Amino acid sequence: MLGLIAGDIVGSPYEGRPIKSKKFPLFSSNSTFTDDTVLAIAVADALLNGGSYAQTLRSYGRTYPKAGYGQRFIRWLKSDDAGPYNSFGNGSAMRVGPVGWFCNSLEEVMEEAKKSAEVTHNHPEGIKGAQAVAVAVFLAREGKSRKKIRTNIEQLFDYNLSSSLKSIRRNYRFDVTCRGSVPEAIIAFLESSSFEDALRNAVSLGGDSDTQAAIAGVIAEAYYGKLPANIKKELFNRLDADLEKVVREFQQKHVKKSNVYFLTNLLKLDV
């Protein structure tokens, strides 16, 4: 989950101020966590404690009301009785990363990702976006090669992951739909050479930079292993104590137990 938060923070200064280059400072005074981080930690909390996704998301959203939520989500937050609003936006995909670490089979990942999404994003594309990200995290955590991750995501979700970042970047614009942003974020990971490179790839698309970097980052963490120390330090410097507590508990219980996969990653061949 640290990869997700790092991507959110790194991408935050460029949301609405797009860049089409990988050459930018990773952190600045404007780098901060946003709704991607808050709601992903809410999902982690719900998984840790068996809580209701709807109730936990509302609790976190109301505790951090200025994190940058969309208008439809804000209306949902304000009502205890509001149901899902058929969204196909990437809000379901940005928060789902912890599911890929928590679950222990592909079938469980698919089902849990659906549950986490459909309390708000019950449109088929909103559910599919969440499932695709969670599955990518799970496969990376298992030590699958980039080629196998690409093939599985394409086959399961009918996403085209064959385009290059260079070709996408040329005409890509801000897009908050799952269909228009999740495949590109996954490609940012697939073309990466390191964890940091995955974040730079995602931001350089010039789109929904914090969310796409969060998605690329959460997959990259599962694939590459531990975050670089400088990125991890900057990340924790920007979290408050309450968010940090949940993050550390989740890392301890559901990420460190997967370190065997990190050893597998060292021997991985893209075949």
Model pLDDT, residue 16:
86
Q: Which CATH architecture has domain 2-14+24-266?
A: Orthogonal Bundle (1.10)
- Secondary structure (H, E, C), the chain: CHHHHHHHHHHHHHCCCCCCCCCCCCCCCCCCCCHHHHHHHHHHHHHHHCCCHHHHHHHHHHHCCCCCCCHHHHHHHHCCCCCCCCCCECHHHHCCHHHHHHCCCHHHHHHHHHHHHHCCCCCHHHHHHHHHHHHHHHHHHCCCCHHHHHHHHHHHHCCCCCCCHHHHHHHCCCCCEHHHHHHHHHHHHHCCCCHHHHHHHHHCCCCCHHHHHHHHHHHHHHHHCCCCHHHHHHHHHHCCHHHHHHHHHHHHHHCHHHHHHHHHHHCCCCC
pTM value is 0.94
pLDDT along the chain (271 residues), means of 10: 97 94 95 98 97 97 96 95 96 98 96 98 98 98 96 97 96 96 98 98 97 98 95 97 97 69 44 38
